[in-house]
Chains A and B, each alone.
Chain A
Amino acid sequence: MTADAGTSTSFRLAAWWHRPEVRDGVLDNLIWLILAVVLLAFAFIPGYFTIPVLTNVLLHSTFLSILVIGETLCLLTGNFDLSVESILAFCAMFAAVLMGTRAPTPGWGITPWIVLPLMMLVGTMIGGLNGFCVARLKINPFIVTLATMIVFRGLTIILTMSQAVIKFPLVYKAIGSAMAGPIPVLVILAFGLYACFHFLITRTLFGRKLFATGGNSPVAFAFGLDPDRVVIQAFMLSGFLAAVAGWCLSSRLDAAIPGMAQGMTFDVMAAAVIGGVSLKGGKGSLVGALGGVLLLGSINSALTVANVSPYWYNVIRGLTIFVAVGLDTLKQHLR
């Protein structure tokens, strides 16, 4: 290739890149490109690139993905919710205590048909408490949700004095192992929730209010919106979704464990940020957040299947997240 031909190719590439539909299309879906590259790289791990393993990636990403929906709603309003993991655990243990028929529960044996709606209500109310403290009392969301994270983790432990509750009624736990053909029902549920909430934030007035509140709250107020109300609603939805995730996870485990989901908040925030949701509010999408979830799930599974030394597990995982976030930041500069 001559120097002239090389220069010509560079010009053509640059011109192609500067076309808005190409540049924006690539940058807006950068996370999916990264995921594709990562999966291709992992294809060389023996036993990884198979339908059952990839199905497991989707399945085990379900619980995190549901939490990320709620977190994204809060992030869009310019806030964040650190308490999602504790709401998940508390709602699961709350349901277990009500349904349980033997120690360490009181043995009430209440039917899941009553327990499940109660569980969702409890999660929503905890979210509402967070939202009220942030929006009306003007307390920093970091402080509020950190406090509720600690309080409700403590209450989860107190409910059964640190003991796990195992073996739930079939009605409650069926969703954990049910299959629709080759696809776990949990995966269908998660994708269904993503579709619903994606529609909600992109096609409805509520979604526009979310972006407006996070983008510029005073201006949103000046235009007649009630930003406080929007924030409370976002937190309530986050709490509700955490309860849904609690149901899904505890049904999958057929157990409610005091330490369940501990540490998941970091993964929730990481997935959302990797997926392009801005910590400052007003920017982001559930599509990107879902990409972030699947990236984290793929990495975790690859490290396991590759039998990577457990002592390097966290280092490799952290570095990969760092690179992904760095690439996303680069995206902002390229625009």
Chain B
Amino acid sequence: MKNTALFIAALALILAACAPAATPAPVAPAVTEAPAAVEATTAPAAAAPVHVAFFVPWTEDVWYVVAIKAAKDRAAQLGIELDVFDGGNKVEQQLQQFDNALVAKPDAIVLSSVDPATMVPSIEKASAQGIKTVVYDRPIFATTKLDALLVLDTPNMGEMQGQAIVDYLTQKNGSAKGKVIRVYGDLADTWVTGISEGWDPFMAKYPDIKVLQAMSGAWAPDQASANVEQLLTANPDVDAIVMDSDWLASGIITYLKSRYDPVGGGNHIFVIGDGGMPEGLQYIRDGYMDMTINNPVPDFVGAAIEVAYKLANGEALPDQWVEEGKPWSPAPITMNAPTTDKPYAGPVVNMGNFIVDKTNVDDPTLWGNMANQP
């Protein structure tokens, strides 16, 4: 009898501990200066503020650290109450966070997923509860229950990189021929698959350009550097290097500095990155990296927050997204043409990317130059 009572008491304690919390459980590394994974930006307005749950896949990438800051800034401007969730690059962690966020019944969810495919049931659950869901960065087309999608046009990034390579090789070799190393990121990352969707068909038009492949595993710069070094040793006639992200640049540029000339030198290897990260911009200033494809991170994420705000307030989206003076503006908003395996038929905000090289690397509005600002 005594043992039974003890067992029941223990079971009750365990069940109480497992009960869903009123606020999401802190499971991820601290986000910016806050000790917990959940943060709220209080709304200044007297009326009930719009409550938005904002998700990033991880914060080991400074891209998402800047994204969080941009989200908070735009939320503060609009008087939004913002909860921030860091997925820690773990699918199950983000799924749990999403479920916990639904309990708080936000007006809208803004999501960049660890793995887009796994979030579809969660998005549909949110839709069933009347919560607007806006996806940014890692696109999800596999559901009709999404309310808006913001993309950075990664296939276009792949095409832009390809065009830069073709232009350089034509200038150097007289025609589009030569040898290029493509440094891959994590093959499971939609960023990489998106770039490949643009890069592969573009480069297929230039059969005289041989593409060698350097792996980085799960975005490991040291692996990328070792593999590029090995390829350059085995292939001394490489003309250019293309990276899926500036994140992979460090060791590669250090190696190039020891063996090759800077931009303009006779023994220079053309290097183009992606993302516009702070270290990428510094390498462009140093003269060893030629260019990068910049993502307008603060504007992009700010737009995602504002789209969520409008949808939560029942407002319709315009035909294009305009922010005066911005290089990507206006960004077209089109209705996606659904297919059998991509049934999403809602609005897609396509914010373009642009090249950063020595001529504009010190532009203070580049997110890579803003990353160190408080």
Interface residues of A (CB under 8 A from B): 47-48, 50, 52-53, 56-57, 60, 63, 103-104, 154, 157-158, 161-164, 166-167, 176-177, 249, 252-255, 257-263, 300-301, 303-305, 307-311, 313
Contacts and interface: CB of A to CB of B under 8 A. Distances in A.
Contacts of A258: 60
6 contacts: A52-B233, A103-B372, A162-B59, A164-B247, A164-B279, A308-B213
A14 to B, nearest CB: 43
Nearest to B246: A164
Contact of B254 (A63, A158, A255): A255
A60 B229 CA distance: 9
A166 B279 contact: yes
A307 B213 contact: yes
Contacts of B29: 154, 157-158
Interface string B151-177: 000000000000000000000000000
A157 B215 CA distance: 23
Given A254-B254, A305-B230, A259 B282 contact: no
Given A307-B212, A310-B213, A157 B231 contact: no
B231 A304 contact: yes
Interface in B217-233: 217-222, 225-227, 229-231, 233
Interface in B313-343: none
Interface string B130-166: 0000000000000000000000000000000000000
B220 A47 contact: no
Given A163-B62, A263-B217, A305-B234, A257 B250 contact: yes
A318 B233 CA distance: 25
Q: For B214, B220, B221, B279, which residue has the most chain A Cβ atoms within 10 angstroms?
A: B221
A255 B61 contact: no
Given A60-B229, A63-B222, A163-B62, A309 B213 contact: yes
Given A164-B250, A304-B214, 18 more contacts: A52-B233, A56-B230, A103-B372, A157-B59, A158-B29, A158-B30, A163-B278, A163-B371, A166-B279, A254-B251, A255-B251, A257-B221, A257-B250, A259-B247, A301-B230, A309-B213, A310-B213, A311-B187
Nearest to A154: B29
A53 B227 CA distance: 11
Given A50-B234, A254-B254, A104 B372 contact: yes
Nearest to B257: A254
Interface in B1-39: 29-30, 32
Contact of B222 (A103, A260, A304): A260
Contacts of B372: 103-104, 163
B62 A162 contact: yes
B62 A254 contact: no
B250 A254 contact: yes
Nearest to A151: B29
A263 B218 contact: yes
Interface in B244-258: 247, 250-251, 254, 257-258
A168 to B, nearest CB: 10
Contacts of A255: 221, 250-251, 254, 279
Contacts of A154: 29-30
B209 to A, nearest CB: 14
Q: For A163, A260, A313, which residue has the most chain B Cβ atoms within 10 angstroms?
A: A163
Contacts of A162: 59-62, 64-65
B227 A260 contact: no
B234 A253 contact: no
A313 B215 contact: yes
B211 to A, nearest CB: 9
A48 B234 contact: yes
Q: Which 5 residue pairs spanning A and B have beta carbons closest together?
A: A255-B250, A103-B372, A47-B234, A253-B251, A254-B254
Nearest to A55: B233
Given A161-B65, A162-B65, A163-B62, A56 B233 contact: yes
A47 B235 contact: yes
Given A164-B250, A177-B258, A253-B222, A304 B279 contact: no
Nearest to B182: A310
B226 A60 contact: yes
B115 to A, nearest CB: 17
Nearest to B218: A263
A200 B229 CA distance: 34
Given A157-B60, A166-B282, A253 B221 contact: yes
Interface string B54-68: 000001111011000
Contacts of B300: none
Contacts of B250: 164, 166, 253-255, 257
Nearest to B251: A253
B215 A304 contact: yes
Q: For A48, A260, A261, A310, which residue has the most chain B Cβ atoms within 10 angstroms?
A: A310
A284 B310 CA distance: 65
Nearest to B214: A304
B184 interface: yes
A164 B225 CA distance: 15
A177 B259 CA distance: 11
Contacts of A309: 213
B222 A53 contact: no
Nearest to B252: A253
A154 B215 CA distance: 25
A262 B60 CA distance: 11
A34 B367 CA distance: 50
Nearest to B373: A103
Contacts of A103: 372
B41 to A, nearest CB: 18
Interface in B54-92: 59-62, 64-65
Given A163-B62, A259-B220, A53 B233 contact: yes
Contacts of A163: 62, 65, 278-279, 371-372
A255 B255 CA distance: 12
A48 to B, nearest CB: 7
Contacts of A53: 230, 233-234
Contacts of B65: 161-163
Given A166-B282, A177-B258, A252-B254, A260 B230 contact: no
B230 A261 contact: no
Given A154-B29, A164-B279, A304-B214, A253 B60 contact: no
